[in-house]
């Protein structure tokens, strides 16, 4: 999945398929949930778990996210990952994409990020976020992004198993280059901040006009819940407009009863069985 940061034109890659935590056993609340080898981050009393999860994912740093049926999130990360984004690179690595302005989410069918990954970034600094483009960075960093793009294209050309996990199965070289590129963006930001040059326009990734508003919106919560819902919770029926088109949807009602969001897929099942299409629903990404 690709998500756009509003007013920034930066697209973030989000892989819900490989980083979801199974629903804990009955009687364990999201506040009590613990994962061996991982630490909850940030503090549980903040609303920033999903954005921080996206920041970690953007740098191919391992993190896990649990979401309950009410849309509450808890992010877990390794101590090394937390140290990296806190001390070295509090950066959302993203990309520039040529999608219509009205589109905020796009389904990304490949397990790896798009080849444009790293062509843009949002730096988090002192409760503000600043957008930068790859052309702002020194030539060495630009070459690093080109190398990332080339390696992603190679990985995308290789058939991948459905169980592939980019955070553990991708080449170590790719993970290292992405994390180094995030450090490049942050280093450039620090130089710009200490110079007399004006900083770029601020984009707020956490507050009213930024990513938190989008990610806390009901449609995003619906997708989050749907990605772990059992197949029995999905409804399927044939389209009345197109021949051999199967429609599969999941409904998620607001708590106050005022409105429902739907996660919907359409698939031409010519030559396919209904069961195969439904099985693909398990592979939301």
Residue 121 has pLDDT above 90, yes or no: yes
% residues pLDDT > 70 (the chain):
59
pLDDT of residue 69: 64
User: Is a pLDDT exceeding 90 seen at residue 148?
Assistant: yes
CA-based torsion, 271, 277, 279, 283: positive or negative: positive
Element containing residue 125 per DSSP (H, E): strand 120-125
pLDDT at 207: 47
Phi, psi angles (nearest 5°) of residue 201: -55, 135
Query: What is the predicted pLDDT for the residue at 239?
Result: 59
pLDDT score at 274: 64
Determine the average pLDDT of the residues in 87-107.
84
For 96, residues 6+ apart whose C-beta sits below 8 A from its C-beta are 9, 10, 11, 116, 119, 120, 133
Which pLDDT value is given to residue 208? 39
pTM of the full predicted structure? 0.67
185-230 per-position pLDDT tens digit: 999 998 888 775 555 544 444 443 444 444 445 555 565 566 666 6
Confidence band, pLDDT 50/70/90 cuts, at residue 132? very high
pLDDT over threshold 60, residue 252: yes
Give the model's pLDDT for residue 116.
94
Cα–Cα nearest to 206, from 54, 79, 72: 54
- 128 sits in which H/E element: strand 128-133
Least confident of 79-88, 142-151, 200-209: 200-209
CA distance 125 to 108: 29
The region, left, alpha or beta by phi > 0 then psi within -120 to 50, assigned to residue 71 is: left
Q: Find the mean pLDDT for residues 262-285.
A: 64
The mean pLDDT value of the chain amounts to: 75
- pLDDT, tens only, 7-34: 667 888 888 766 565 555 555 666 666 7
Percent of the chain residues past pLDDT 90, beyond the cut? 22
Amino acid 283: pLDDT: 57
Map out the domains of the chain as residue ranges: 2-215, 229-283
Count, residues in the chain: 285
Q: What is the mean pLDDT of residues 110-124?
A: 90
Counting Cβ atoms within 10 Å, is residue 93 exposed (0-12), middle (13-18) or buried (19+)? Answer: buried
Whether residue 109 is predicted with pLDDT greater than 70 in this model: the reply is yes
61-70, 128-137, 147-156: segment of lowest average pLDDT: 61-70
**How many whole angstroms separate alpha carbon 9 and alpha carbon 211?**
11
Q: How far apart are CA 216 and CA 230, in angstroms?
A: 23
DSSP assigned state of 95: B
Average pLDDT over residues 254-278: 64
Say if residue 159's pLDDT is above 80: yes
Is the pLDDT higher at 253 or at 96? 96
Split at pLDDT 50, 70, 90, the class of 125 is confident
Confidence of residue 149 (pLDDT cuts 50, 70, 90): very high
Q: Give the pLDDT band (50/70/90) at residue 53.
A: confident
Residues with Cβ within 8 Å of residue 131, at least 6 apart in sequence: 8, 9, 10, 120, 121, 122, 200, 201, 203
For residues 270-274, give the mean pLDDT: 67
């Amino acid at each position: 999945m690709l998500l756009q940061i509003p007013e920034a034109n930066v697209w973030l890659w989000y892989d819900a398929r490989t980083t979801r935590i199974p629903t804990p056993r009955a009687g364990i609340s999201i506040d009590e949930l613990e994962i061996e080898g991982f630490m909850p981050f940030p503090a549980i009393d903040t609303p920033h778990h999903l954005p921080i999860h996206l920041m970690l994912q953007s740098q191919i740093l391992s993190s896990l996210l649990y979401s309950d049926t009410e849309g509450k999130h808890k992010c877990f990360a390794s101590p090394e990952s937390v140290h990296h984004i806190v001390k070295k690179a509090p950066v959302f690595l993203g990309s520039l994409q040529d999608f219509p302005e009205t589109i905020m989410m796009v389904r990304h069918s490949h397990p790896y990020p798009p080849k444009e990954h790293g062509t843009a970034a949002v730096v988090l600094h002192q409760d503000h976020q600043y957008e930068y483009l790859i052309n702002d960075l020194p030539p060495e960093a630009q070459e690093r992004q080109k190398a990332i793009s080339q390696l992603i294209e190679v990985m995308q050309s290789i058939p991948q198993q459905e169980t592939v996990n980019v955070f553990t199965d991708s080449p170590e070289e790719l993970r290292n280059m992405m994390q180094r590129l995030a450090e490049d963006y942050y280093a450039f930001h620090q130089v710009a901040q200490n110079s007399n040059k004006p900083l770029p326009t601020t984009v707020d990734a956490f507050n009213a006009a930024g990513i938190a508003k989008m990610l806390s919106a009901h449609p995003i919560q619906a997708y989050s819940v749907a990605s772990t819902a059992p197949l029995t919770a999905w409804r399927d029926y044939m389209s009345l407009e197109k021949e051999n088109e199967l429609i599969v949807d999941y409904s998620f009602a607001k708590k106050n009863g005022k409105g429902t969001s739907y996660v919907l897929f359409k698939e031409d099942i010519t030559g396919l069985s209904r069961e195969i299409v439904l099985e693909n629903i398990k592979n939301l990404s």
